[in-house]
Structure 1
Amino acid sequence: MDQLIGSPAIARGLRDVEDRIGRLGGSSALPGINAGAGRIISAGGKRLRPALTLATALALGRTPNRRVVTAAACVELIHAGSLVHDDLMDGATERRGARTLNAELGDGKALVIGDFMLARAGLAAITAVSRPVAEVLAATVVELAEGQYLETTSLYDPDRTVEAALASIRGKTAALFRAGCLVAAICARATAEERAGMAAYGERFGLIFQILDDLLDLTAPSGLLGKPAGQDLRHGVYTLPLLLTRDAGATGSLGGKLTGEQVEEVIRELRTAGMVELTLEYCRGLAADAVAALPVLRHGEAAALLYGLPTAYLRQVGEIVGSTSVGCDLLE
């Protein structure tokens, strides 16, 4: 992931994206909304989604122009707005080491600021990019809502299936990664086949990203996460790493609210039962599928970054969670 963000061509594009995000997030007639949106926009994050959008355009032979930059900014603005809504639903008070908008301003103001960011992205897409791009992003917001809703229907359900978890994360996370790749392909005037391949790649990488994020929630120290470890488990969200391990024969005290000690005990059981390797192996398969979906790409550096991204991210997370066998052979 660092290679993608650190690419000189993408870094240049991201500076333009950052400026565009700031302008869009600060475009309300109400200073309070601008201030709240600005807090979220400036709160950190590596801008992976817009970087992936820029890399797709470059790999398809399109230098990021104003339309590509605006499309990438819209993708990130939708992501930022969805984070506000996620924090509201979770009652979270901290994200990335800072207080959430709902903790700082109250639920009502946080809600409308999140709504503003989603709506502003849609307006920019239709007025400054193109109708097809706006349609993709609007459909993606629908999928975000549906994916989040699906998650709420499985809270504290010890019988939640792997398929149910995948359906949720396809909507709430993978859809936006897919959208970033697809809108870039549209801006690059790619063929229908190229668009489909890039969309499939983006979705599969989005699945990997969320699954590994869920693994980190169960394994990484709180200081690295910027929030308490085991947060999903505390809230009754039984994520894919947990479900894969359960289906492999691990036991745990699931169903109903858990105390802090019970959460720690379940996490110990999962790690002992091989949760890390089971999850990484599952993601290796997704990574192979993602790379296989890529169309023929024209720009050498950007193409190499896209081919290498799933593997590199697997290795990065594997190092964090202490696995010694995270290498993949996707590129050999």
Structure 2
Amino acid sequence: MLAHTARPGRPEEILSTPALTAGLRQVERRLRRLSTSSRLPLVNRAAGRITGAGGKRLRPALTLATALALGGRIDRRTVSAAACVELVHTGSLVHDDLMDNAAERRGVRTVNAELGDAGALLVGDFMLARAGLAALSSVSRAVAETLAAAVVELAEGQFQETAALFDAGRTPEDALCSVRRKTASLFRASCVVAHPQGRAMAEYGERFGVMFQILDDLLDLASTAELLGKPAGNDLRQGVYSFPLLTAVERDCADLRPFLGRRLTEDEIAIVLARLRNSSMVEDTIEHCRGLAADALAVLPVVADPEAAAVLYGLPPAYLGRAESLLVR
């Protein structure tokens, strides 16, 4: 593995290399064309509005960086693969918003808020299917199969989480299994589809994806609406018992067990959040994520391209730093 010291900085800074910036502009154009390729104008308006609302574009950035890391180029094939990855991600968010009955995403009204539940279901289906078709026709059968397998895992992981809502018997291992499927599977696929030798990056993508989701779950429990830009404690409201919560209950918050297995009032949610923030949950979870970040970096193959190295080595510590800056201790 090429010796490399990750540059400190925000994720946005890590992703602002010249090659990635130019490549992501191409991805954005390709994504726009794909999401508005229906023969039905209403579908195009809904899908185009959601993809056009922005987002971190972390998954396509991983695809571009992986291509460079493995000796490839940011060409039409790579851009198409990256756009397909992001279209899968955005389509899955349409379904997530539908399941959560969310009214807003990325500052715009959700598809379910605009078109109702049935319309959102079908728009999400269109986006997932369109990504698979584009991967098959514009990239390769192998890439299409990789994305299809990721969608299967994503659906299975989300089903596991949904089936375990308000389940007081859920374990930290159960939560991790769902995370690997519902989030890390697409991070892994983002790396694999980048290059014919992309499987060399699969473990990096998976470990980074697990870390990314655990940090997101931690922020829901240990940050504030002002810092996050959205309400804190949503997982507790919805009965989603995440890895940080379940680990804390097992270690030093056993007194919170009576709050599991039922819907909580807002006063009860405030009590649970305060107790968690005064426990070792934050430190324990951050330490676990540091280990995942180190594991991700340890499995990187030799990265000769300096821009790719800066991105791939820099992203895990950057997301750790971002999470720590948003925590209330």
Going from structure 1 to structure 2, the CA distance change for 1:202 and 1:230 (only over 3 Å counts) comes to same
CA contact (8 A) 1:95 1:226 kept: no
Distance 1:184 1:131 in 2: 13
- Greater CA drift, 43-52 or 175-184: 43-52
Structure 2: which amino acid aligns with 1:101? V
Give 1:94's match in structure 2, choosing from 83, 104, 107. Answer: 104
Distance 2:228 2:107 in 1: 8
Corresponding residue of 1:276: 282
Distance 1:17 1:248 in 2: 44
Runs of 4+ in 1 over 6 A off after TM superposition: none
- Greater CA drift, 137-146 or 217-226: 217-226
Give 1:244's match in structure 2, choosing from 227, 241, 247. Answer: 247
Distance 2:147 2:13 in 1: 27
* Structure 2 runs not aligned, ≥5 long: 1-10
CA contact (8 A) 2:223 2:328 kept: no
Corresponding residue of 2:86: 76
* 1:234 and 2:237 correspond: yes
Question: Alpha-carbon deviations, 1:126-154, whole Å to 9, x = none?
Answer: 00000110110011110111000110121
Matches within 5 A, 1:70-219: 70-186=80-196, 190=197, 195-219=198-222
Q: How far has the Cα of 1:264 moved from its partner?
A: 1.2
Question: Alpha-carbon deviations, 1:211-266, whole Å to 9, x = none?
Answer: 11111111222244343211111000001111121111213211100111111111
Corresponding residue of 2:76: 66
CA contact (8 A) 1:178 1:201 kept: yes
Distance 2:262 2:209 in 1: 29
What number of residue pairs does the alignment pair up? Answer: 316
Give 2:56's match in structure 1, choosing from 31, 43, 46. Answer: 46
Question: Alpha-carbon deviations, 1:271-291, whole Å to 9, x = none?
Answer: 101221111011011111111
CA contact (8 A) 2:85 2:190 kept: yes
Corresponding residue of 1:330: none
What SS does the corresponding residue of 1:257 show, helix, strand or coil?
Answer: coil
- Matched residues, percent identical? 61
TM-score under structure 2 length normalisation: 0.93
Distance 1:122 1:107 in 2: 23
Distance 1:223 1:33 in 2: 34
Structure 2: which amino acid aligns with 1:234? R
Going from structure 1 to structure 2, the CA distance change for 1:42 and 1:224 (only over 3 Å counts) comes to farther
* Structure 1 runs not aligned, ≥5 long: 324-332
TM-score under structure 1 length normalisation: 0.92
CA RMSD, 1 decimal = 1.3
Question: Alpha-carbon deviations, 1:149-186, whole Å to 9, x = none?
Answer: 11012110122111110111111110000000011132
Going from structure 1 to structure 2, the CA distance change for 1:211 and 1:2 (only over 3 Å counts) comes to same
Q: Which has the higher contact order (CA 8 A, sep 6+)?
A: 2
CA contact (8 A) 1:185 1:198 kept: no
Corresponding residue of 1:261: 267
Structure 2: which amino acid aligns with 1:183? V
Distance 2:315 2:290 in 1: 12
Structure 2: which amino acid aligns with 1:229? A
Distance 2:245 2:95 in 1: 24
Distance 1:113 1:82 in 2: 10
Q: How far has the Cα of 1:3 moved from its partner?
A: 2.8
Distance 1:104 1:276 in 2: 38
Question: Alpha-carbon deviations, 1:95-135, whole Å to 9, x = none?
Answer: 23432211121001111100000000000000000011011
Corresponding residue of 2:223: 220
Distance 2:60 2:211 in 1: 17
